[in-house]
Amino acid sequence: MSPQLTLFEIPAHGRARREDPATSKAAAATAPAADLSERILRALRLSKAGMTTRELAWLLKADLVSVSPRMRPLVEGGKVLDSGEKRVGDNGRASIVWRAA
């Protein structure tokens, strides 16, 4: 199996909190979900050049607003590093290039 295929592996079901109503738990049990932080980390480990948050969102088929807030905890946990580089995207803005620690 190619290591790239593991980027898109998705757990069998979603997650719900204990205090969530029964309807949320039922929905989580049937909806596919992914541990996005883990998928981000896998993508960065496979990337030689590092990736911006926007590139990660595109690769992982996730919303930018879902990927972006996961970067700080990964940095604080020592799993991801700011490479010190910036990359200009299609929007003309420079973004941090992230790398796996």
Please report the domains of the chain, with CATH numbers, ordered by start residue. 3-100 (1.10.10.10)
pLDDT band at 42 (very low <50, low <70, confident <90, very high): very high
Average pLDDT of span 28-48:
79
pLDDT attached to residue 78: 96
Integer Cα distance of 22 and 76 in angstroms: 34
Q: How far is CA 87 from CA 25, 47, 50, 69, 84, in A?
A: 40, 15, 10, 19, 10
pTM for this one? 0.67
Q: Which percentage of the chain shows pLDDT scores above 70?
A: 76
Q: With 80 as the cut, is the pLDDT of residue 21 above it?
A: yes
pLDDT in tens, 56-80: 999 998 889 889 999 999 999 999 9
pLDDT band at 16 (very low <50, low <70, confident <90, very high): low
Judge contact between 97 and 86, C-beta under 8 A.
yes
